[in-house]
Amino acid sequence: MKRNALAVLLMGLFVAGPVAARRKKGEKHELCAIHSVYVNGNSESATAARRQIEKRTWMKLSSTKGKADAILDVAEARSTASTIAGLAERTQVTFNLTKADSDEILWSDSWVVLKDS
């Protein structure tokens, strides 16, 4: 259940930001030019992004950084947070989509998910 909820949240974030950017005429046209992406990261969130990226976006998954138009860095940090109900597991996931040939950031987002322990 936790894995499914996290995967749905992450893909919702990843899809909503770029798709909304594509709809605004004249903005983020660099994002529309991205056809392949390499997912950089070794976490549950990065794995979820790899599984869903081709299903939910116009982008294709690349197996190497050299062949990709962009690189999606996925970072995940877990900690314990205190809430009114007690302790909760806190997971912060950060996405950075950069052009493969430069360090120009095309899209960035960060979310926190709390789950009761």
Encode pLDDT of 40-99 as tens digits. Answer: 999 989 999 999 999 998 999 999 999 999 999 999 998 887 777 778 888 899 999 999
Cβ–Cβ under 8 Å, residues 7 and 48? yes
User: What domains does the chain contain, in order, with CATH numbers?
Assistant: 2-116 (3.30.160)
CA distances from 14 to 23, 60, 67 (A): 15, 14, 21
Mean pLDDT within 7-29? 55
Name residue, tokens 């259940």: 1
Q: Are 58 and 27 in contact (CB under 8 A)?
A: no
User: What region does 41 belong to: left with phi over 0, alpha with psi -120 to 50, or beta?
Assistant: left
- Looking at per-residue pLDDT, the higher value among 30 and 61 belongs to 61
Strand, helix or coil at 109?
A: strand
Alpha-carbon distance of 14 to 107, in angstroms, equals: 9
| Diameter over CA atoms, the chain | 48
